[in-house]
Amino acid sequence: MPDNTNLHAASGVRPAQGAAGFMGEDFLLQTETARQLYHDYAKNLPIIDYHCHLSPEVIARNAPFPNMTALWLAGDHYKWRALRTLGVEEHYITGAATDEEKFVKWAEAVPYTMRNPLYHWAHMELKNPFGTTELLSGENARQVYARCNALLPQPAFTPQGLLAHFNVEMVGTTDDPIDALTFHQQLAASSFPVKVLPSFRPDKVLQLTGGNDFRTYIGQLSAASNVSITSINTLLEALQQRVDYFHSNGCRLADHGLVHLPLPGKSSGNLAKTFAAVLAGDDASAASCQNEFAGFILLALCRMYSRKGWVQQFHLGPLRNTNTRMLQTNGPDTGYDSIGDFRQAAAMAAFFDELEQKGALAKTIIYNLNPADNATFAAMIGNFQQSGIKGKMQFGSAWWFLDQLDGMTNQLNALSNMGLISCFIGMLTDSRSFLSYSRHEYFRRLLCNLFGNDVAQGLLPADIPWLGKMVQDICYYNAKNYFPLT
Rounded distance, CA 118 to CA 454, Å?
27
Burial class (CB in 10 A: 0-12, 13-18, 19+), 1: exposed
Q: Examine the pLDDT at 3 and tell me if it is beyond 90.
A: no
Taking each helix axis as running N to C, give the angle between helix 117-127 and helix 438-456, from 0 to 180 degrees, rounded to the nearest 10: 110
Structure confidence by residue, pLDDT tens digits, 35-49: 999 999 999 999 999
Rounded distance, CA 229 to CA 115, Å?
51
Residue 269's pLDDT is what?
76
Q: Examine the pLDDT at 425 and tell me if it is beyond 70.
A: yes
Residue 266's pLDDT is what?
63
Give the pLDDT band (50/70/90) at residue 386.
Answer: very high
Rounded distance, CA 240 to CA 226, Å?
12
- What domains are there in the chain, each with its CATH number? 7-26+66-157 (1.10.2020.10), 159-482 (3.20.20.140)
Rounded distance, CA 344 to CA 296, Å?
18
User: Nearest-CA neighbor of 173 among 262, 251, 236, 111?
Assistant: 251
Q: Is the pTM of this model over 0.85?
A: yes
Rounded distance, CA 425 to CA 50, Å?
10
Residue 177's pLDDT is what?
98
- Segment 411-435 mean pLDDT: 97
